[in-house]
Chains A and B, each alone.
Chain A
Amino acid sequence: MLFNSASFMFYFLPVALLGFVALGRFGRRAVIGWLALVSVVFYGVWKPQYVIVLVGSMLMNFAISRMIAASRDSRAGTWWMIAGITLNLGVLAYFKYLFRFLVFMNQMQFTQREWPHIILPLGISFFTFTQIAYLVDLRQGEAEKQDFISYALFVTFFPHLIAGPILHHKEMMPQFSAEKRYRLDWHDFATGLSWFVLGLAKKVVIADRIAPFADAAFAAPHGLGMWNAWIGVLNYSMQLYFDFSGYSDMAVGLARMFSIRFPYNFNSPYKATNIIDFWARWHMTLTRYLTLYLYNPVALAVSRRRLARGLPVSKKASRTTAGFVTMIAAPTCFTMFLAGVWHGAGLQFIIFGMLHAVYLTVNHAWRLWQNKPASEPRKWWSAPLGVALTYLCVVVAQVFFRADSTRDALALLAGMSGMHGLGLPAGLAAHLHVSGISTAESAKALFVLLLFPFCWLLPNVQELLGQSEPSRFEFGGAFSARIAHALGWRPDVGARLAAWGVALAGALITVLYYISYSTSFLYFQF
Chain B
Amino acid sequence: MAALRLFCFALALLPFAVMIFAVWLAKTDWFLRRSMPAYLQMMDAEWNIQGRSCDVLVYGDSAALTGLMPWIIQQESGLTTCSIAQTKGTVGVMGTQPLEKYLQRNPPPQVLIFAFSPEDWRPFHAWGEVAYVEGVLQTVRHGSLRKYVAALVTHPDEAFGFATFVYKSAIAALAVNPTMTAETLREGHMTLPSPPEQQCEGNPAHPGPLFAPDAAYAAQLRNRFAKNGTQVMLLVTPVPQCDPQAAWYAAHLQGVTDNPLETWPIGLFNDIDRHFTVAGAERFSREVGHKLPSAHGKVE
Contacts and interface: CB of A to CB of B under 8 A. Distances in A.
A517 to B, nearest CB: 4
Given A186-B5, A494-B3, A7 B156 contact: yes
A9 B15 contact: yes
Nearest to A197: B11
A6 B14 contact: no
B167 interface: yes
Interface in B1-34: 1, 3-5, 7-8, 10-12, 14-16, 18-19
B50 to A, nearest CB: 36
Interface stretch (B69-77, B157-165, B217-225, B240-248): B157-165
B174 to A, nearest CB: 13
Contacts of A193: 8, 11-12
A498 B10 CA distance: 11
Interface size grouping (class) on chain B: 20 to 34
Contacts of A187: 4
A513 B167 contact: yes
Contact of B161 (A498, A504, A517): A517
B4 A509 contact: no
B157 A508 contact: no
A140 interface: no
DSSP class of A's interface residues: helix, strand, loop or mixed?
A: helix
A403 interface: no
Most buried by A among B8, B14, B161: B8
Interface string A495-518: 001101100110011001111110
A10 B4 contact: no
B147 interface: no
B168 interface: yes
Contacts of A9: 15, 160
Contact of B4 (A5, A186, A504): A186
Contact of A190 (B4, B159, B171): B4
A11 interface: yes
A11 B156 contact: yes
A190 B7 contact: yes
Contacts of A197: 11
Instruction: Name, among A197, A514, A517, the residue most crowded by chain B CB atoms within 10 Å (CB to CB).
Output: A517
A76 to B, nearest CB: 50
B168 A513 contact: yes
A494 B3 CA distance: 7
Given A7-B156, A11-B156, A193-B11, A497 B18 contact: no
A186 B4 CA distance: 7
B3 A509 contact: no
B150 to A, nearest CB: 14
A10 B8 contact: no
Interface string A459-501: 0000000000000000000000000000000010010011011
Interface string B34-62: 00000000000000000000000000000
Interface string A5-44: 1110111000000000000000000000000000000000
B164 to A, nearest CB: 6
A508 B12 CA distance: 10
A512 B163 CA distance: 8
Contacts of A517: 157-158, 160-161
A524 interface: no
A10 B7 contact: no
A501 B7 contact: yes
A189 interface: yes
Q: Of B10, B16, B156, which is in contact with the most chain A CB atoms at under 10 Å from its CB?
A: B156
A508 B4 contact: no
Contacts of A10: 15-16, 19, 156, 160
B164 A491 contact: no
Nearest to B16: A10
Contact of A6 (B156, B167, B168): B156
Contact of B18 (A5, A512, A514): A512
Interface in B136-179: 156-161, 163-164, 167-168, 171
A6 B157 contact: yes
Contacts of B156: 5-7, 10-11
B163 to A, nearest CB: 7
A505 B14 CA distance: 7
A193 B167 CA distance: 24
Given A10-B16, A504-B11, A512-B18, A497 B3 contact: yes
A332 B160 CA distance: 47
A508 B11 contact: yes
A353 B11 CA distance: 42
27 contacts: A5-B157, A5-B160, A6-B156, A6-B157, A6-B160, A10-B19, A10-B156, A10-B160, A11-B156, A186-B4, A193-B8, A194-B11, A197-B11, A491-B4, A497-B3, A497-B7, A501-B7, A505-B10, A505-B11, A505-B14, A509-B14, A512-B163, A512-B167, A513-B167, A515-B164, A517-B158, A517-B160
Going nearest first, the 10 A-B pairs with the smallest beta carbon separation are A6-B160, A517-B157, A6-B156, A6-B157, A7-B156, A186-B4, A501-B7, A190-B8, A512-B18, A190-B4
Given A186-B1, A194-B11, 14 more contacts: A6-B160, A10-B19, A186-B4, A186-B5, A187-B4, A190-B4, A491-B4, A494-B3, A497-B4, A500-B7, A504-B11, A508-B14, A512-B163, A517-B161
